[in-house]
A and B are shown apart, each in its own frame.
Chain A
Amino acid sequence: MPEPIIRVENLGKRYSLCHQAGGPRYRALRDILSEGVTNGFGLFGARAAATREEFWALKDVSFEVNEGEVVGIIGRNGAGKSTLLKILSRITEPTTGRVTLNGRVASLLEVGTGFHPELTGRENIYINGSILGMSRSEIARKFDEIVAFAEVEKFLDTPVKRYSSGMGVRLGFAVAAHLEPEILVVDEVLAVGDAAFQKKCLGKMGEVARAGRTVLFVSHNMQTIGSLCQSVRLLDGGALRYQGEVVGGIAHYYRTLDASQRDGTDAQRRPGTGEFRFLHAASDASEYRPHEVKVIRFRVRPMTNSTPRVSLSAHLTDATGGLVCQCDSRFLGVHVNLSQGECEGALAITTPWLKPGEYAVDLFLVDGNVGVVDRFERACQFRVLPILPYPDIGPEPGFSQGAVLGQFSWTVSTTGPTEGNRVLAE
């Protein structure tokens, strides 16, 4: 049994939260002095007396990662993923426990860290590279490759402040992609950039993984996790809840997501501006045949006094988190003037015919002026039964490879001379 390249033992990180409504994260000396006066304590007594709460961002986390493994770190917001990455990349120290790293770590928690807007692309490549731990000669050696990858040849001597945001991101990722550490730690950086570039980044990540490097990858995109990682570690509430195979981990992730949303207390913590929130959503049936109309019913409740005009949208996702289709009411010209008081509605998905498996629906309320009002991920689930909507039974490879089931017909008619047909028949 070879020694694991990363060994995490009983890792914990505690933060102290200072409860002062609206107070800044840092403290002015004045605060301490005034606390001292009001409390009648000395300077240091006052510090201890301030209302403080301890918060464990990570608690008692242990796992190992073997060399060459590509590991996905998943979990809801606030599960402790970022804290774990920060400890692994030495930005912050653990409070308890320890981590043993048997290789050099490069971490990519942000694209283009240290870019200076006034400097040119060329200068920024050198600065960013050395921030990520590359030596000058190493950067010089890889310079052309980096530039080519980022597709910024023409703008090398232009200050980065004149770059489009896409170019900046491309350049940042390009530098990071040419790191050659034994362990690469990546935080959701692929969420930026356009689709083509994301694909390129994913390709590069796959390449890094195939080159035998160990990669720790945080993402909310289960599809990316599924296609890139060999195993996952699931964090929830600062504790490790699952480690092992990707499919099992993703299923577990969805369960933690569902559990937190069923109890309803999570509505205020969901993304979105929050004037209105989905209160409840359910599928009419828990199981459908592939070609049946799937009906999702939902209730919406106002949270403030505003009455925005919104559109509705739903994302239908499959068991790996892949997006099957979007149902956006704007394409139907449907907008809703939400009024005070609860209201309810329904979404009917007629096509496509879905392949057998588990599906989930994400619901969105979107205000054209301010953006997403509520984003209710995995609002409800249903299962599509393995009963194919075709008149005959075919072999499994005949449908298993597609994304959805098609509704189709075949016709064949004779167009050439009958002579030819006979030859073919022989």
Chain B
Amino acid sequence: MAKYQLVLEAGRADRQYWRDLWAFRELMFQLARRDVAVHYKQTVIGGFWAVARPLVTVVILTVVFSRVAGLEADGGVWYPLFILAGMLAWQFFAAILGESSNSLLNNANLVSKVYFPRLLVPLSALGVPLLDLLVLSPFLVGMMVYAGVIPPWQLVFAPLFLLLAAATALGIGFGLCALNVKYRDFRYVIPFILQFGVYASPIGYATSRMPPDYQGLYHLNPMVFVIDGLRWSVLGVGDPFAGGGWLVSLAVSLAALLAGVRYFRRTERTFADVI
């Protein structure tokens, strides 16, 4: 009779999952569009917020690290530019992590009223950070022009590093948003991670400043490789592959992604009952 058949049974949802995820992709774009449309509604300066916050941070970090601490950037790059390139990657990561980890709670009404693969919800949280990234990028280009920096050939790898930032943030985000459904504690964990991460990542200073003994430990922070990599590909300074620490960072990123997806998938079927 009908070509379409669906069997609902305990534990059965798995078999259809990835196909459904694809079938519902339009919903993901709609949710992302909604978040983007709503994000700066009823603010006076609108999208300028996407620029204002990182730029102010750049100024402050420049003063602290360059003037007060007297540090120098890799390859003698203009310090604000050095920081901005790092900020760009960090901001992207932080925004995705923040948005995705609260996404299920923010969409609780959807989760309890309609079916769709729940993974779409944290995925759709990519929309706003992507837009913010697009808005901020011209400032980086402008500062590069001002400082007379010509992008090196490895610029082609820049999207890969941004992809890695997104994958890492989503991995952690998947896990945290699933945990948030059951234990609201995790809402308070994210601001802490982000606050602490600014100093634990090479944003205001270069990775090469870290004493060699600490390099291995330092690279447990997956954003070390992402930030160094983005600087290397955009500004052509530093060497993200020096010392093999990058393998640690990359492994942590991938582990976070895998663990996040697995935990999310395992708890997903109870979301509607618990949220």
**Residues of chain A having any CB pair with chain B under 8 Å:** 2-3, 5, 15, 25-30, 67, 86-105, 107, 109-110, 113-114, 116, 118-119, 123, 126-127, 130-133, 135-136, 182
Task: Name the interface residues of B20-74: CB closer than 8 Å to any CB of A.
Answer: 24, 26-27, 30-31, 33-34, 37-38, 41-42
Interface of A: prevailing SS: loop
Would you call B5 an interface residue if the criterion is a C-beta within 8 Å of the partner chain's C-beta atoms? Answer: yes
Contact check, B1 vs A101: say whether CB atoms are below 8 A apart: no
5 A-B pairs within 8 Å (CB atoms) are namely A88-B8, A97-B9, A101-B6, A123-B37, A131-B30
Given the known inter-chain contacts A89-B115, A131-B110, please indicate yes or no for A126 contacting B2, CB distance below 8 A. no
Contact check, A95 vs B114: say whether CB atoms are below 8 A apart: no
**Residues of chain B having any CB pair with chain A under 8 Å:** 1-2, 4-13, 24, 26-27, 30-31, 33-34, 37-38, 41-42, 107, 109-116, 181-185, 269, 272-275
Contact check, B183 vs A28: say whether CB atoms are below 8 A apart: yes
Residues of A within 8 A of B13 (CB): 90, 93
Residues of A within 8 A of B4 (CB): 102-104, 182
Residues of B within 8 A of A100 (CB): 5-8
Closest Cβ of chain B: how far from A230's Cβ, in Å?
19
Closest Cβ of chain B: how far from A331's Cβ, in Å?
40
Q: Which of A28, A107, A114 contacts B115 (CB 8 A)?
A: A107
Residues of A within 8 A of B183 (CB): 26-29
Contact check, A92 vs B269: say whether CB atoms are below 8 A apart: yes
Contact check, A91 vs B114: say whether CB atoms are below 8 A apart: yes
User: In the bound complex, what is the Cα–Cα distance between A262 and B24 (angstroms)?
Assistant: 49
Residue of B nearest to A124 (CB): B34
Contact check, A131 vs B116: say whether CB atoms are below 8 A apart: yes
Closest Cβ of chain A: how far from B24's Cβ, in Å?
8
Given the known inter-chain contacts A99-B7, A99-B8, A182-B2, please indicate yes or no for A131 contacting B27, CB distance below 8 A. yes
Residues of B within 8 A of A97 (CB): 9
- Top 3 closest A-B pairs, CB basis? A90-B115, A98-B9, A99-B8
Contact check, B9 vs A94: say whether CB atoms are below 8 A apart: yes
Closest Cβ of chain A: how far from B244's Cβ, in Å?
37
Contact check, A89 vs B114: say whether CB atoms are below 8 A apart: yes
Q: Which of A26, A98, A107 contacts B274 (CB 8 A)?
A: A26
Closest Cβ of chain A: how far from B263's Cβ, in Å?
15
User: In the bound complex, what is the Cα–Cα distance between A168 and B65 (angstroms)?
Assistant: 53
Q: Which of A2, A28, A88 contacts B185 (CB 8 A)?
A: A28
Contact check, A27 vs B2: say whether CB atoms are below 8 A apart: no
User: In the bound complex, what is the Cα–Cα distance between A130 and B183 (angstroms)?
Assistant: 30
Given the known inter-chain contacts A28-B183, A102-B5, A109-B114, please indicate yes or no for A93 contacting B38, CB distance below 8 A. no
User: In the bound complex, what is the Cα–Cα distance between A29 and B114 (angstroms)?
Assistant: 28
Residues of B within 8 A of A135 (CB): 26
Contact check, B269 vs A119: say whether CB atoms are below 8 A apart: no
Contact check, A123 vs B269: say whether CB atoms are below 8 A apart: no
Residues of B within 8 A of A92 (CB): 269, 272-273
Closest Cβ of chain A: how far from B206's Cβ, in Å?
37
Residues of B within 8 A of A30 (CB): 185
Residues of A within 8 A of B24 (CB): 133
Residue of B nearest to A3 (CB): B1
Given the known inter-chain contacts A30-B185, A102-B2, A123-B34, please indicate yes or no for A86 contacting B272, CB distance below 8 A. yes
Q: Which of B6, B41, B109 contacts A114 (CB 8 A)?
A: B109
Residue of B nearest to A94 (CB): B10
User: In the bound complex, what is the Cα–Cα distance between A88 and B6 (angstroms)?
Assistant: 10
Closest Cβ of chain A: how far from B190's Cβ, in Å?
15
Given the known inter-chain contacts A103-B2, A113-B110, please indicate yes or no for A27 contacting B182, CB distance below 8 A. yes
Contact check, B115 vs A95: say whether CB atoms are below 8 A apart: no
Residues of A within 8 A of B5 (CB): 100-102
Residues of B within 8 A of A88 (CB): 8
Contact check, A114 vs B7: say whether CB atoms are below 8 A apart: no
Residues of A within 8 A of B116 (CB): 131
Contact check, B27 vs A101: say whether CB atoms are below 8 A apart: no
Residues of B within 8 A of A96 (CB): 10
Contact check, A98 vs B8: say whether CB atoms are below 8 A apart: yes
Given the known inter-chain contacts A89-B114, A103-B2, please indicate yes or no for A29 contacting B185, CB distance below 8 A. yes
Given the known inter-chain contacts A28-B185, A119-B38, A130-B27, please indicate yes or no for A113 contacting B7, CB distance below 8 A. no
